[in-house]
Amino acid sequence: MNSTITLSERTFKLLVEQAERVKRSPNEIADEVLIRHFSSPHAYIELVETTSGVTAMIKGTRIPVYIIVGYIQRAGASPESLAAEVMPHVSLAAIHDVLSYYYDHKEEVDREVGENSVEASQKYLRERLGEEGYNRITGQSK
């Protein structure tokens, strides 16, 4: 759903300047700010500015929400096995908060999971290196 919000000239100017600095659209920046401001709080989640934008991470770690979601979706891990075996330094409560955050922000997190998949990485490398360069760095050249 698209809606229109009217901003003061000063606010709009600040928004455009920030968008230019981070090479993103003013709409993306405004969406992130509004989501961050109006999102329900999650005790174990913080939003962190990264080179690719704002990413939800487990507080006190550098573990993005999309990593936990990926383990559960793609590897079939349970929250209990993640906390006990894969990430023993992350509490079970934090992992459940990740899932709560995921269900509150499903579209956004699913996009991040897709952007950070093995397939997306392979596609990125093929686009940047060409097929021959990709095969060479992955040991597939003949």
- pLDDT (tens digit per residue) in 41-91: 899 999 888 887 889 999 999 999 999 999 998 888 999 999 999 999 999
17: containing domain: 1-38
- Tell me, what DSSP letter sits at residue 64? B
- Please indicate, yes or no, whether residues 23 and 47 belong to a single structural domain of this protein: no
The total number of structural domains in the chain stands at 2
**pTM tops 0.85:** no
- Please indicate, yes or no, whether residues 48 and 99 belong to a single structural domain of this protein: yes
**Length, in residues, of the chain:** 142
- Please indicate, yes or no, whether residues 51 and 118 belong to a single structural domain of this protein: yes
- Please indicate, yes or no, whether residues 49 and 117 belong to a single structural domain of this protein: yes
- Please indicate, yes or no, whether residues 74 and 6 belong to a single structural domain of this protein: no
CA distances from 41 to 37, 47, 58, 97 (A): 9, 11, 13, 10
- Please indicate, yes or no, whether residues 98 and 71 belong to a single structural domain of this protein: yes
